[in-house]
């Protein structure tokens, strides 16, 4: 069925000459124009960066061990050991809590002839940690009730998984910018 026949079919449907069921039957006679949503193009998944949380986790463990070693020397070494222990434990806790978090992958093609042409960012989204913080401390943040940020983060917490990702792609012309965001 060519475009003219499909347009005629839609005009007849709009005018009330045929009902929706008859229009579907007419389209079923020509299945090559029917879009099958089960065969939609699935976006290419970004490479798995999930194991990279082990790098900051290992560095945090090493920093904690170094801080404990410095603290055992006694004297004024605790001045170096204290901040090292606190920052290393912070890195260990953050990396451990984001180990199972969904990731956001942002790919930007700027369309520029010089400078940065491609920018790729791959970061974990600490949704569980952020939602926990909003539940505990959200009442103390002024102006949070006026925004929907807390509700958005809490709703995304259970909805974004590796099996159900969110994919957003924006093109700005042929030679323009191309932005792709993949969460999951």
Which residues in the chain come in under a pLDDT of 50?
Answer: 33-39
- The Cα 85–Cα 80 span in angstroms is 9
> Over the stretch 32-62, which tens digit does the pLDDT of each residue have?
544 444 445 555 655 566 677 888 999 999 9
Residue 171 CB contacts under 8 Å (≥ 6 apart), including other chains: 177, 178
The pLDDT, as a whole number, for residue 157 is 72
The pLDDT, as a whole number, for residue 46 is 56
Q: Which DSSP category does 111 fall into?
A: -
The pLDDT, as a whole number, for residue 172 is 80
The pLDDT, as a whole number, for residue 63 is 96
- The Cα 128–Cα 156 span in angstroms is 9
| 3-state per-residue secondary structure call for 17-43 | CCCHHHHHHHHHCCHHHCCCHHHCCCC
């Amino acid at each position: 069925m060519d475009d003219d026949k499909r347009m005629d079919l839609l005009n007849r449907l709009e005018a009330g000459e045929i009902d929706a069921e008859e229009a579907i039957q007419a389209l079923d006679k020509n299945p090559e124009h029917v879009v099958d949503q089960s065969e939609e193009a699935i976006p290419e998944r970004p490479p798995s960066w999930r194991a990279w949380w082990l790098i900051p986790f290992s560095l945090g463990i090493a920093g904690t061990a170094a801080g404990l070693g410095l603290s055992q020397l006694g004297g004024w070494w605790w001045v170096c050991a204290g901040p090292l222990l606190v920052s290393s434990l912070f890195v260990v806790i953050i990396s451990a809590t984001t180990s199972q978090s969904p990731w956001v992958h942002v790919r930007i093609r700027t369309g520029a002839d010089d400078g940065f042409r491609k920018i790729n960012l791959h970061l974990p989204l600490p949704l569980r940690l952020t939602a926990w913080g909003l539940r505990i401390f959200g009442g103390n943040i002024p102006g949070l009730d006026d925004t929907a940020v807390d509700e958005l983060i809490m709703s995304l917490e259970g909805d974004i998984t590796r099996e159900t990702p969110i994919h957003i792609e924006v093109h700005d012309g042929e030679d323009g910018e191309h932005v792709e965001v993949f969460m999951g």
